[in-house]
Each structure stands twice: as structure tokens, then as C-alpha cells.
């Protein structure tokens, strides 16, 4: 049987000759190939590039004829003849590369089951009696009467867009209509109506708005399939790298409005790109679930963030009520429901509660867990099914690639792993997308710092040792280590890690470690009480726990206790978008968490300064690292 | 004591020398002179023109200095010295003239009492506890807790505009805030919040959207005072003179959108003019009550009107739920509540139920009333506190001045009353505003037709008799009667009533009389059973019942049984805007009314044709008219 290989993922399947390419893609488990026209060969959304091999066109659409002289064929209109290599058009978009990262690193058991989804709405098909001359009930009255028959006598509500469609919908199929409903504690809301039994095209968005990075998944609400994903830098970052400077910037209402528009522009650009690529119409987006820290929610909605950073640090809203896309300013169906993960307070927001959905924190009654979200802020949750404490620390966005000379997000061109050898003369690395490197992402930075330490290129205070390698350079009065020379990079400049970069990374890891140590001390536990450490954040595709322990970012615990769960806020938003049970869990989590204010803890600064070393000033806390450094030293001496 | 005369109304009062002009205006009962700046002489909204006489300026504001060389003075900064004639700036707008018409012709007992108003919202002043570091409740949580303390544990809701103001409002006066609340059957809605105990500036709009004419009152929600009033032709009229042709025009969604924008433009222009003249900011408009027929509501809201005129004549909505100004498209506070008078069906809408608030229909248990609303459509209600039946007939807009060569609305320049003498050679008339006539309004037309009949200028079929008067002219193949020659009019054209005009008026009056006769027959009553006839509609400032009976528009009953209540829809909207009791009455009225479909009544055409005569083919139905015509005839013979 011929084989079909799909690039860039290099997935190969064997299929009988005569199989359509899109059928081969389904067999290969490739989800990015969409057929909005229903495989009729009319929309051109399934175009793929034939790299090598022979295929046969069904050749009966106008589009097919137009493609005659190109390497492009429609996957739904082209049969496999012999071994074929094709490149998927949609995945060329670099942003698609992070699909592997976020989709999904959390255990399958936490994700909603495909055959048991409960999105923010439900649908019902009704037979509404036709009007008669004798009985003058309006269309709306007749619909309400039928809804109340099935749902009890609740108040029923609808907006003008639904009322505008109602008359035609009721008449098109003699009163048989399908309605989209949302029920809250007060009323039944009719979100949409259409004639007949057809299900609505219904797509949702799971959104994680980070201080530095925004991630959006477009999801089929019928089966939970991720149709597209985008990540982008939050355009607000130009107006302050972290939450505090962002709040300071927003001190006038004009600037507050500016920040609101910046984040809305970022979101709407991402959504627009997904809609364009997937062929999904914007009106099909029916619900959105947003996980974001409290400041990001305030800035998105135009709420003044000022009091978040003024004692007693109280936000306008912690648990934002459901809004519509129109109110928020998202350019999708203006009636789409926009729900928010509930926050705990000013510095522990919905991004954390959402992330906790990807853990055993609510279900495992025996063991104590530590949850670390390392983004621009570091947030920490400690607890189990009985109790939960949480705190936040200003980590800075270094592990998101920001504030690091050649740092970048975990997208195409990022070094995500590297090894140093030959006393610092050789560097081997892996690049996302396998092209030339253009920067280094979070996981790469952690790996790099560990390698620099164990190979004696930097000392425990993070300064370069004097070594005989041309990779050690002096630029603009700062010392640096060249990871790759300009000629071999995708951006034609040397990729260098500098001493200020290293200081930046050390400050970030020290802040996080110190906060963890302090929260443990506060509840009277030590590291050994922890059964599992969940690590969430946008480091990259994976994080080498070994490296993170080596630099003192993570505690020196048995490696099997760690779980890297990637962008858990986004995954949590995905879960809550699709599952009523997860939404109930979220609400329960938020009300149970106790917030500790580290900034008022007199021990914090001591704990932080002690951690500002590689791995830590108290090497006894890192026995495995101590052992490794000693063996490295003796190796070097040999 | 010197006198002050206010133009154009020519109201004169005597005041001591030294009285401020605005104080004199208050004494004269003039309500149009507003002082948004609180009589500080800073806003210039109270400018008046000094036509004659001496006044003294207080002369201590910059604005005062700027006015030095003009005839304009500020009423709040200028003292009366001797007899003074001033012209009000705001009342120059001709539309203001209808104030006398609509404000209010209904009996005082039906209007809400000034000291017992219950608009669509209420306010509450709360002391919200300040946040503390220990107790991390968000601003919203603390506000909700206080509201629930006073109102029970209802769900509390707020939109983003309120949440955006909340943080500052709570902190400005240490947690003392005043909130504007709306309670419906499901939740408590926070509409606005501000620091301290200050009441909100709160203004409302009562709106009557007729097929031909729109009227809007701007009303203080604190005391029910009418701050301004405007009437205008509905710009939709260019796309069809009556409801049926309007529905026919709206057959595509583009045209439906066009009609929506036309009526919104008319409304927003009227509102903008009132805001500009009164100095009231648009955001101060907090609630709106709309009375309109079912088709007008559909067109305003973009609901398809098509099924209103297709059997079984069912609208999308009869009783429109409350919306916001933003949803409707009114350019005022976008969060303002917009409520609608409930309709009965496709051809008896909220304009009729609202109008009934101005009658004894719900309170008088003994007697039977007839209610006639003569607009573009004629609607009739017959009944008492126990039963109500209603029907509609296509009258046409003739009595609103439309479709009549020199017809016009009852605004400045309209002939509202006239007398013919000397065998048709002399015509004496009264003009609204006392200037030169530019047209003739509804009351004038009724008067005219009666005069033409009793003076033998037209016969009972509405055709001109051959008479020796130069006023009888032939133009474009039609015969006409000149009311005034071009030289004496405000528009420099002859004011002529033509035979087609008379036919038009006769068709309208016949349709109304026939419908009344038929509804009576349907319930087995005759004219003598009627205790009172309410006549509503935009004829003009007053209607001469004698003339209306003479032409057979109204039945030949004792004159004291008739009450002309003017634009009762508008007055009803005013009542409902200000009174919860009236809103309850409205809901009760709408559910109790039984609709009769005249179009399917086989006797309608006979009844209509019999009425297509002056006053009626069956002269026995009009004994007083018969008597008068006979005496006129004998007089002519003498």
C-alpha cells in the first residue's frame, strides 16, 4: 500500500491507493485539515502542497481547474496514487507550533470527556404551535409557552437579535425550531433560534490572558476538538513589563482605555487569524472562557486597576459575572457568553483557579500538593482537598523570554534544549520547528543556566569564570556566552546570553523558591510533606526538572514528584468552557483558598537573598546538586 | 409696578422693580427657562432677547460682559427696571408651540401626583464598609452584601459601566454611596452608583411614535415637570403613508434597516434638540417609556413587520420586554431603561393601552365608554371596568394633515379654527402662533368641512356647488376653495382645499364612524348606551365637537358626553414613566382587551359606504345635523 507523509509533523500513514488525501489525514489523526464546504471541493480550505509523489485529482470543480499548474491540491478532491509527501498549509503558520505544547500536557483524566460535554449553553428542539386567527398570541408568547412547558415557569428572556430572527424561524418549518438556551439562577435566556432540528454551528474560545503572553484556543463545542490555537505577546507589555508597572501606567482614564484597547487588539487579531485560517464564521463563536489574573481582567474590562496595588489591595471584582462578547469588545458573535474563572484576590486570579482544574487538588484527600505557576508573576498554591493556601511573588517575565537579550516565546525558531561540552567550546541544541535558531525560550534558558553551572562556565553567583573558549565574549561592557554565531542563526546576529540576563533569571528563580519556602513555613510543613509539585507556565514544550533543580528554581525532591503541565490556565479555561462540573469545581476552589500576603512577611527578604545563588546559599537544601557539583569539580580537576 | 411680557406666548406679569427676569418667568408659570448652572450666570442657557424696555445687569460675570453690545441678556443676571418685553430663546422653536396641546388635555385626576412618583428605578443610599487587609472582599462583593441586607438575598446585577465607577465611588466618601436600582421579577439591577448622598440628575422621556407623527416629552423624574416637548413627522412616512404600505416597503432586510434608521434619526434629532436647548446632559436620561402601535415598535426595533399583515396577523412581540437605550439605538445614557406600553395584537398596540390610562375605563364600574384614537390608523375601544373590546380601521393620516394639499401638523402657522360667512366670500381664521397661515391642521380641517357643508359650499356628497365667489377656483382640473390668497400667507401660495382633499377627509371619517357603529353592533349596544366618548389624536389644540358631529365623524350625541384628550398616547407614556400604579394598570388593560377583526366582518363595507356622505346617508342618525341643515337651507331660501 502507498504511504502518505504529512509535513511538517512528519506523520506517515499507509492507505490503499485511491484514498482521498483528507481521508488519509483523518487516519493520521491530523486535526488541522478542515472541510468547511463539506468536502465538496468548493471552499479551498483544505489545500495542501504536494512535495513529492503522484496523486489524481477528481477534477470536477472550478477550483480544481484553477490549481492545475500549481503544486497545490485540495485534500478532499485528490486521491493517493503512490507514496506521497504533502505539506499542510495551515500548519505553516509558526504560531501553530505551540499546539504541541498546550494541547495538552495535563493528564487526560482531568479533561472533559468528549461524549459528556456541557458547554455554557444547551440546545432544545421544540414544536411551537402555529398561530391561528382565533388565538392571537404573538410569536414570542407562543415560544415562551413551549419553553415553560419543558422548563417550568421560569422567566424567559431574549435579546433583540433573537427576536429579529424569531418570526422567520417559526414559519420556515411549521413551528419546528431549535433554540440555544442559557440558564442562570434567575432566568432562561434564549441565545439563538433557528428553524428545524439542525444543531447550531457552535465554536468556543478558551483564553489565557497573561501579563506577557496571551494564548487562545478555538474549540468545537460539539466534540471538544481544538480547531486552532494562537499565542502572542500581550501588546500591553509595551506599557509596563509586569502587573505593577502596568497598573502605574494606567493612572489616567485615557491610559486605562489605551491598555484596554491594546489587549483587545491583541485578542481580536488572534481570533481574526484563527477565523480566517479555519473558515469558521465569527458568528459561530458562542461562548468564551477567560482565565486571567485580576489585573488583566480589570484592564480588559476597563475597570480601574489602581486599588489592586494600594493597601488594602482590593479589586473592583474578583469573581466577574458573565458578560457578552459585545460588552467585552471581542469581535465575534456579539451575543456570545463570556465567562471568567473566579479569582481569589488582587494577586491570585482566575488564571490560578483555572490551572488548579488540571490537578488532583480537589479530588485527592490524602496528599498535599504544591502548585507553581511561573509567568510574569509567580503564584503558588499549597494544599489538598481539605485546605488551600496561596500567595504571589513578583517573579518577572524572564522565563517567558522577556527581558532576556535573546529570549523568546516557545514558538518556531526557539532553542528549547541544549547541551554544552568540551569545556564550553561546543554547544548542541534543539530548535522548535527544526530550522535555524532565532532565540531561546524558557525551557532552553533553564537548561542553559544549568549547563553553564555544571560546566563551570559561571560560578554559583552567576558570574562568568575565565575560560579558554571563543564563545566567551565582551559586548557593550558586559560579558556574554555565545550560543550560536550569527551565520548559523535565523536572524543573522549572534545568540548570546549575558551576565545581566543571568542575573535576571536568578532573581526570578530566587523569588519563586523563596515564596515556596515561606508558604511551607507558614503552614508548618517542610519540603518532604509534598506529594506532588505541579509546574505550570509557558516555558516551552517541556521543562527538564533536573535543570530546574540544578539552578535552584525547583526544590531538590525526587524527580517523579514533579509534573510539568504547561499552560494550565489555558487548559483550565478549556475544561471550564466545556464542562459544567469543572465550572462548579472552579467556584468551589476559589471560595476555599486562603491568601497569604508575602509582601508583609518580614522573612521574605532573607529567604529571597538566600536563594539568590546557584542553586542556593544553603547547599544542604540541594543535596543532589551538591553531589553533582562536587563530581563535576573533581572531573574538571582530573 | 413694572410689567414683564414674555414672547412669543405673550404672558404678562407685574413684578416689583429689581426682580430678576428669571424670577418673573417663574411667576408667569413659564417652564422653558432653565438654569443648569444654578443661576450663577456662567452657562448662558437662560439667554433672552430684550425687545423693549429697560433692565439692569448684575454685570459681574464674564458672559455678561460678552453680551454688552447685544440685545441678549441672561435672565438670571438681569433685573427688571421698567416695563419690559422679552422674547424667550427656547420657545422660538416652532415645535415648542404644541406644548399647549399635549400638556395636558386629560383630567388632572389621571396624572401621577408630583409627590408620589415611582419612576422605573429607585435610589438607595448605603454605607458600605471599607475594605481591610484582613478581609479581602472585592468592592462589588461588599456592595452586594449591603444591598442584600436591605433587599433580601436577591441576585444582584450590574453592567460594566457601573463596575467601572464603583472603586472610586466607594472611596470618595468613605463608603457612603447612592445607588440607582431597578428591580424586576428576577434580580436587582444596579444602574448607577455615585459617592455620597446626592440624588442623581434624572430625566426621562415619554415617547409616542405614531405612523405619521412622533412626539417626545422630556420630563424631570424628580417632580414630573415637563422640561421640553417636540413633535416631528416620522421620517419613515416618506416610505409609505400608513402602516400597511410601510410593512410592504419593509419586505427586504435592507429596507427594514432603512426604516429603523429613519425613525431612530427622527427620534435622536428630537432628543438632541431638547438636550441642546435645555442644557440637560444626555447621560442624565435614565428611563424612557414608549407608546407606539405594533408596527412602529417592530420597525423601531428591527423586527420583521411582515407577519403583521399576513393572516393570521401575528406580530413577533405584542408586549415588548424592557430594553436598554443602547440596544434600541437611542443616543442618551446607553444604560437607560426603555420600557414599552403593552400591545393587544397586530393592529391595537401600546399607543392605545397607554391612551386608556387617561380615561375612566379601569375605575368606573357603572358606565360604558367609547375611546377613539384618530391617527393614521383609527383604533376604537369600547367597554368599562368589566369588559373591553377593541378594533382598528385604516383611517389614513388626513386628520394629521397628511395627504391634504395644504394640510400640516398642529404647529406654528397652522389654521386651527375658521368661520365662513357671506355665502362663501369671507373666511375668518385663527392661526397657531398668530402669524401668517402656512397650512391647516386637523381641527381646522374638521371645522372647515363643517363650514363648507352648512354654508352650502359643498353638497352632502362632498362636491362643490356652483356659487358666486372668487374663492371657488379650478386648478389642474380639480375644483378648490381658497382659504387665503398667497399674498397673506406665510408661504406665498394660495391655501386651497380641493375636492380630492375633501374625498380624503370623508373616507377617513367614514372609516372611523363605520368601525364605531360595527363594534357597537357586535356587542349588541347602540349609541345611547355610551356614557362618554374619549377622542384622542393629534388634531390640533382643540377639536370642535359640533363640527365633528356635523361632518359625521362623531356620532350625534349630547356634546357633554365628549372629551377631547389630545395626544393621550403621549400622556399615557408620561403617566407610565412616572408611576408604578399606572404601569400595573397598563399590564392589566392589555390582558383584558378582546380584539375584533373588522376586516373579516361582512358588514363593514356596507357600514363604510353608508357613512361616505356628509354627515351620513341615513340622516336620521344625525338628528341635530338634519335640523341645522334644514334651517340653513330655509335661511338660504329667505
Quickly state the pLDDT bin for A571 (edges 50, 70, 90). very high
Q: Name which of B532, B140, B94, B632 is nearest A301 in CA terms.
A: B140
pTM equals 0.79
Mean pLDDT of chain A: 88
pLDDT of res. A110? 85
H or E stretch including A498?
Answer: strand A495-498
Which whole number is the average pLDDT over A433-440? Answer: 90
Stretches where chain B sits below pLDDT 50 are: 90-102
Strand partners, A47: A74
Which three cell numbers, joined as nine digits, stand for A183? 440558564
- Distance CA(B311)–CA(A132), nearest Å, equals 8
Question: What letter would DSSP give residue A458?
Answer: B
Q: Is the pLDDT of residue A543 over 80?
A: no
Whether residue A51 contacts residue A39, with contact meaning beta carbons closer than 8 Å, is answered with no
Residues in B closer than 8 angstroms to A131, CB to CB, are 312, 314
User: For the segment A471-503, what is each residue's pLDDT rounded down to a tens digit?
Assistant: 999 988 899 999 999 999 988 889 999 999 999
Predicted confidence at residue B274, as pLDDT, reads 92
pLDDT in tens, A307-330: 999 988 999 999 999 999 999 999
pLDDT at B61: 63
Between these two residues, A390 and A27, which has the higher pLDDT value?
A: A390
Given an 8 Å threshold on Cβ–Cβ distance, is B139 in contact with A313? no
Q: What DSSP string runs through B19-40?
A: -BHHHHHHHTT------TT-SS
Would you call A538 helix, strand, or coil by DSSP?
coil
H-helix or E-strand spanning residue B583: helix B580-592
3-state secondary structure of A367: coil
A-chain residues within 8 Å CB-CB of B346? 136
A321 lies within 8 A of chain B by CB: yes
Instruction: Tell me the CB-side half-sphere exposure of residue B229, using CA atoms within 13 A.
Output: 22
Look at residue A199 and tell me whether its pLDDT is greater than 70: yes
Chains A, B: CB contacts within 8 A come to 125
Phi, psi at A37, each rounded to 5° = -85, 0
For residues B507 and B611, what is the distance between their CA atoms, to the nearest angstrom?
Answer: 9
Return left, alpha or beta for B202; rule: phi > 0 is left, psi -120 to 50 is alpha, else beta: beta
Task: Specify burial of residue A186 (Cβ count, 10 A radius: 0-12, 13-18, 19+).
Answer: middle
- Residue B148's contacts (CB-CB under 8 Å, 6 or more residues apart) are B154, B156
In the structure, what pLDDT confidence band is assigned to residue A45 with cuts at 50, 70 and 90?
low
> What is the rounded CA–CA span in Å between residue B32 and residue B111?
21
Q: Does A164 touch chain B (CB under 8 A)?
A: yes
pLDDT at A114: 80
pLDDT of residue B101: 40
Task: Tell me what pLDDT residue B102 has.
Answer: 42
Question: Which residues, including other chains, have CB under 8 Å from residue A75's CB and lie 6 or more apart?
Answer: A20, A21, A22, A25, A33, A46, A47, A48, A86
Report pLDDT for B282. Answer: 93
**So what's the pLDDT on residue B48?**
82
Report pLDDT for A35: 61
CB atoms inside a 10 Å sphere around CB B629: 19
Kindly list the structural domains of chain B, giving each domain's residue range(s) and its CATH number in brackets, ordered by start. 3-92 (3.10.20.30), 122-195 (3.10.20.880), 203-340 (3.30.420.480), 359-397+513-615 (3.30.420.40), 398-505 (no CATH)
Considering only A527-536, A611-620, B390-399, B539-548, which range has the smallest mean pLDDT? B539-548
User: In this complex, is the C-beta atom of B587 within 8 Å of any C-beta atom belonging to chain A?
Assistant: no
Evaluated on CA atoms B153, B155, B158, B164, the torsion sign reads positive
Does A185 contact chain B (CB < 8 Å)?
Answer: yes
- Cis amide bond preceding A615, omega within 30: yes
Interface predicted TM-score of the whole assembly (ipTM), two decimals: 0.78
Q: Is the pLDDT of residue A54 over 70?
A: yes
**Facing residues of A414 across strands?**
A439
CB atoms within 10 A of CB B559: 12
Among B284, B394, B387, which residue's Cα sits nearest to residue B333? B284
Which residue of B145, B163, B250, B349 is the best one to mutate when testing the A interface, meaning the one whose CB has the most A CBs within 10 A? B163
pLDDT at site A43: 56
Helix ranges restricted to H, A399-544 = 442-454, 499-522
- Which A residues, 74 through 133, put their C-beta within 8 Å of a C-beta on chain B? 131-133
CB of B473 less than 8 A from some CB of A: no
Residues of A in contact with B166 (CB under 8 A): 316
Alpha-carbon distance A328 to nearest alpha carbon in chain B (angstroms)? 9
Helix (H, G, I), strand (E, B) or coil at B606: helix
User: How far apart are the C-alpha atoms of B75 and B89, rounded to whole Å?
Assistant: 11
Amino acid at each position: 500500500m502507498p504511504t502518505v507523509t504529512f509535513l511538517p509533523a512528519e506523520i506517515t500513514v499507509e492507505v490503499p491507493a485511491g484514498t482521498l488525501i483528507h481521508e488519509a489525514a483523518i487516519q493520521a489523526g491530523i486535526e488541522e485539515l478542515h472541510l468547511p464546504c463539506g468536502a465538496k471541493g468548493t471552499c479551498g480550505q483544505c489545500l495542501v502542497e504536494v512535495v513529492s509523489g503522484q496523486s489524481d485529482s477528481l477534477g470536477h470543480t472550478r477550483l480544481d481547474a484553477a490549481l492545475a499548474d500549481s503544486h497545490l491540491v485540495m485534500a478532499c478532491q485528490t486521491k493517493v496514487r503512490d507514496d506521497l509527501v504533502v505539506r499542510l498549509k495551515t500548519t505553516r503558520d509558526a504560531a501553530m507550533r505551540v499546539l504541541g505544547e498546550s494541547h495538552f500536557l495535563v493528564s487526560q483524566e482531568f479533561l472533559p470527556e468528549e461524549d459528556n460535554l456541557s458547554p455554557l449553553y444547551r440546545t432544545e428542539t421544540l414544536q411551537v404551535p402555529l398561530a391561528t386567527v382565533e388565538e392571537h398570541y404573538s410569536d414570542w408568547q407562543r415560544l415562551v409557552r413551549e419553553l415553560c412547558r419543558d422548563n417550568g415557569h421560569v422567566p424567559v428572556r431574549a435579546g433583540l437579535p433573537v427576536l429579529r430572527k424569531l418570526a422567520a424561524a417559526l414559519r420556515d418549518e411549521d413551528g419546528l425550531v431549535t433554540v440555544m438556551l442559557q440558564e442562570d439562577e434567575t432566568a432562561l435566556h434564549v441565545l439563538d433560534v433557528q428553524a428545524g432540528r439542525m444543531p447550531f454551528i457552535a465554536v468556543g474560545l478558551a483564553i489565557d490572558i497573561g501579563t506577557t503572553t496571551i494564548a487562545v484556543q478555538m474549540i468545537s463545542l460539539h466534540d471538544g476538538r481544538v480547531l486552532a490555537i494562537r499565542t502572542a505577546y500581550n501588546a500591553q507589555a509595551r506599557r509596563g513589563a509586569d502587573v505593577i508597572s502596568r497598573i502605574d501606567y494606567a493612572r489616567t482614564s485615557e491610559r486605562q482605555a489605551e491598555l484596554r484597547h491594546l489587549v483587545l487588539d491583541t485578542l481580536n487579531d488572534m481570533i481574526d487569524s484563527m477565523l480566517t485560517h479555519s473558515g469558521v464564521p465569527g458568528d459561530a463563536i458562542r461562548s468564551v472562557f477567560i482565565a486571567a489574573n485580576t489585573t488583566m481582567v480589570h484592564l480588559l474590562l476597563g475597570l480601574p486597576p489602581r486599588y489592586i496595588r494600594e493597601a488594602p489591595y482590593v479589586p473592583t471584582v474578583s469573581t466577574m459575572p458573565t458578560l457578552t462578547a459585545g460588552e467585552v469588545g471581542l469581535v465575534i458573535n456579539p451575543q456570545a457568553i463570556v465567562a471568567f474563572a473566579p479569582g481569589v484576590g488582587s494577586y491570585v486570579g482566575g488564571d490560578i483557579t483555572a490551572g488548579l482544574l488540571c490537578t488532583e487538588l480537589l479530588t485527592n484527600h490524602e496528599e498535599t500538593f504544591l502548585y507553581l505557576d511561573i509567568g510574569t508573576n509567580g503564584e503558588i498554591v499549597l494544599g489538598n482537598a481539605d485546605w488551600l493556601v496561596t500567595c504571589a511573588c513578583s517573579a518577572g517575565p524572564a522565563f517567558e523570554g522577556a527581558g532576556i537579550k535573546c529570549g523568546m516565546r516557545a514558538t518556531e525558531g526557539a532553542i528549547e534544549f541544549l547541551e554544552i561540552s568540551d569545556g564550553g567550546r561546543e554547544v548542541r541544541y534543539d530548535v522548535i520547528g527544526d530550522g535555524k535558531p532565532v532565540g531561546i525560550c524558557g525551557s532552553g534558558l533553564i537548561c542553559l543556566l544549568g549547563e553553564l553551572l555544571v560546566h563551570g562556565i559561571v560560578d554559583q553567583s552567576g558570574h562568568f569564570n575565565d575560560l579558554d573558549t571563543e564563545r566567551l565574549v565582551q559586548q557593550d561592557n558586559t560579558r556574554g556566552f555565545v550560543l550560536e554565531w550569527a551565520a548559523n542563526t535565523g536572524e543573522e546576529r549572534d545568540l548570546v546570553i549575558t551576565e545581566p540576563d543571568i542575573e535576571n533569571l536568578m532573581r526570578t528563580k530566587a523569588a519563586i523558591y523563596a515564596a515556596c519556602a515561606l508558604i511551607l513555613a507558614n503552614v508548618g510543613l517542610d519540603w518532604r510533606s509534598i506529594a506532588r509539585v505541579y509546574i505550570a507556565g509557558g516555558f516551552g514544550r517541556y521543562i527538564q526538572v533536573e535543570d530546574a533543580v540544578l539552578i535552584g528554581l525547583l526544590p531538590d525532591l525526587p524527580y517523579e514528584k514533579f509534573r510539568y503541565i504547561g499552560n494550565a490556565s489555558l487548559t483550565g479555561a478549556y475544561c471550564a468552557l466545556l464542562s459544567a462540573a469543572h465550572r462548579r469545581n472552579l467556584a468551589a476552589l476559589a471560595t476555599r483558598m486562603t491568601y497569604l500576603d508575602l509582601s508583609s512577611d518580614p522573612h521574605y527578604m532573607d529567604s529571597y537573598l538566600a536563594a539568590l545563588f546557584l542553586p542556593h546559599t544553603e547547599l544542604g537544601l540541594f543535596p543532589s546538586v551538591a553531589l553533582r557539583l562536587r563530581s563535576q569539580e573533581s572531573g574538571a580537576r582530573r
